[in-house]
Amino acid sequence: MRWLFVWAAQGCIFALSGFVAFLLRFDFGLPQSCLRYFVYALPVWIAVKSVIFQASNLNRWGLRYVTIADVHRIVIANCAGSLLSWAIIVYIAPAGFPRSIYLIDLIISLLGTAGLRVVVRMVAEAIHGGQGIGQEKRTLIYGAGDAGITLLREIRNNPKLAYHVCGFLDDGLDKKGLLISGIEVLAGGDEIKSLVTKHNVAIILIAIPSATGVEMTRILELCHAAGVESKTVPGLGEVVEECGLVGQIREVAVEDLLGRNPVRLEVGRIREVLKGKVVLVTGAAGSIGSELCRQIARFQPAGIVGFEIAESPLFEIDREMKQRFPQIPFYPEIGNVQNRARLDDVLRQYRPTIVYHAAAYKHVPLMETHVFEAVENNVLGTYNLALAATKHGVEDFVLISSDKAVRPTNIMGTTKRVAELILLALQNGRTRYVAVRFGNVLGSNGSVIPIFKKQIAAGGPVTVTHPEMRRFFMTIPEACQLVLQASAVATGGQICVLDMGQPVKIVDLARNLILLSGLKPEKDIKIQFTGMRPGEKLYEELSTLLEDTIPTEHEKVRIFVGNGVPEGNVHRWLDELRDLCAARDTGRLMIALKEIVLDYSPSADLLRRVVEATDHRPHVSVLERPHIGHQAEAPIC
């Protein structure tokens, strides 16, 4: 019925345009002698234009969804119809047909066919726009660019959406006062407060997918200062993966405030590395390990082995993987990287091609009080896995390292640095050993984000160690994607460093999280400074002055290349570290770590505990130990 209506309406327009063209040509007094021309032309115009519009599929389009692209096609169809009609009329009609009628008919036909659709759309929008007025939230769209216009169009086309757009906000001075789709660009963000009051606005939709973290933070603060709710829309990449822009309007997340651009992955290269291979992930139930499993599953491996010491989290990731990726075999294996026999069992059974070693003790203050456990797990456990990997034919071994390995001031960072040196020394041409360094990841277990959220939920205060404390941050998916990218780029015997962007002040992160919770810092939720914890730095670094970076094909991955240290030194270090852990001698263990990592600066808290322990053993000096010699750390150049 809709098709018949469109066809009949267009036929009437074609007939009427021809009739009006004749009337206009002869000043509304059609001579009897020209009537025969009209009789020849009218059937041709109706038939030819109807056929061309049908062939162009113009009769099948919804009238109320006309766009500029549709009008462009209507122009082409009318021109084609007029040209073909002219050729037929010249051939069949008597001589003397007035030529100006062809042009007049084309103009009237074009205005009529395009105008029909525009009128239908206007009526439909007026009808739907009148429905639900009173229940809709009065809305401002922040951003008068492509995303904002697309958002406005979707709001108008969907009568179920509870938004009534009152205007645009945009910081571009050249846009102020413009009418976009009938909606005025009212002002920039600095005038939000007055506009919210003037127009009784309930919500602001932020449609600036390209906004930086600083810009998003400013917009969020302006919205909160105006006492109005704010939400955001995703970038084009998220829209393509999902469906539609309006359906993805969501709360502003802390990730938006970082302003990090989406990762560009060399998908083909990563697929070459992973497709059809068995991959083992240690620490598979942790924040990084579990996301690695999810990301790896996208590249069709032959199977994923999840090696984890924590039973319940391993059970959960096993369920998730089998539900989300039923076509990818997932093998949960309980075990400890400190148990060499268990590692041999698992590697012998599954024969993995690639190992991602994410299992580690990572909490800085906790490791300052558990020195032996940190060394046994992060150093000796890594060495056990590295040896087992080369024994069982693993081709690629990737260590998840940390920015805290650079000029370490804590046990956690020092053990990570020792683990890096071990891998560089073990590079033997069979297994390719690679370490990947990055900073903090948002939302990982025990990181500041979950802690801050719990403190906000409890009514505060939010505790920050120092006003100038800064850290590098990235999201868990981004970190894991770049780990896969780095492992595909590196060739072995290298330390890869991921682009972490600019460091973020922890106190700013705390304030932004309070704002995202709909509260005001210092007024609703207090921020309390508690002092730096043992082993903490004010600033983290990703490379040392002794290291020289080499760019790779990927803009977010750089490589440190060097010879590392002789393998003989590593075996001597490991034997001594193992003995000192067994003897539970903290003082000598610190000295041994200092001789391996020359730029390690032990924390005052740890030194104090060593001195206090020594005072209780007056006959044993910290310095009374076999001298293993000062092995200069080879620069990783």
- Name the residues annotated as catalytic: 404
Asked whether 279 and 352 are in contact (CB, 8 A), the reply is: yes
CA distance 501 to 214: 13
Q: H or E element: which one contains 100? A: helix 100-130
Q: H or E element: which one contains 229? A: strand 229-232
Q: CB under 8 Å to 485, separation ≥6 — which residues? A: 263, 265, 266, 270, 554, 556, 557
Asked whether 406 and 544 are in contact (CB, 8 A), the reply is: yes
Asked whether 559 and 437 are in contact (CB, 8 A), the reply is: no
Select from 505, 515, 497, 447 the least CA-distant residue to 472: 505
- Which residue is associated with the tokens 């001579």? 31
Angle made by CA atoms 71, 72, 77, in degrees to the nearest 5: 95
Q: Provide the 10 A C-beta neighbour count for residue 350.
A: 20
Select from 415, 470, 411, 405 the least CA-distant residue to 438: 405
Distance of CA 307 to the CA centre of its chain: 27
Angle between helices 381-391 and 340-350 in degrees, nearest 10: 30
Q: Provide the 10 A C-beta neighbour count for residue 198.
A: 12
Asked whether 352 and 394 are in contact (CB, 8 A), the reply is: yes
Buried b (16+ CB within 10 A) or exposed e, 398-433: bbbbbbbbbbbbbbbbbbbbbbbbbbbbbbeeebbb
SS3 474: strand
Instruction: Report the amino acid identity of residue 496.
Output: C
Asked whether 80 and 20 are in contact (CB, 8 A), the reply is: no
Q: Which two tokens stand for residue 190?
A: 């600095």
Question: What percentage of the chain's residues is helix, strand, coil (to nearest 5)?
Answer: 50, 15, 35
Angle made by CA atoms 520, 444, 473, in degrees to the nearest 5: 70
Three-state SS for 452-466 is HHHHHHCCCCEEECC
Asked whether 82 and 17 are in contact (CB, 8 A), the reply is: no
Q: Residue 263 to residues 418, 476, 494, 582: CA-CA distances in angstroms?
A: 30, 12, 22, 44
Asked whether 505 and 441 are in contact (CB, 8 A), the reply is: no
Q: Which two tokens stand for residue 344?
A: 């041999």
CA distance 609 to 619: 17
Q: H or E element: which one contains 206? A: strand 203-206
CA distance 366 to 431: 33
**Terminal C-alpha separation, the chain:** 75
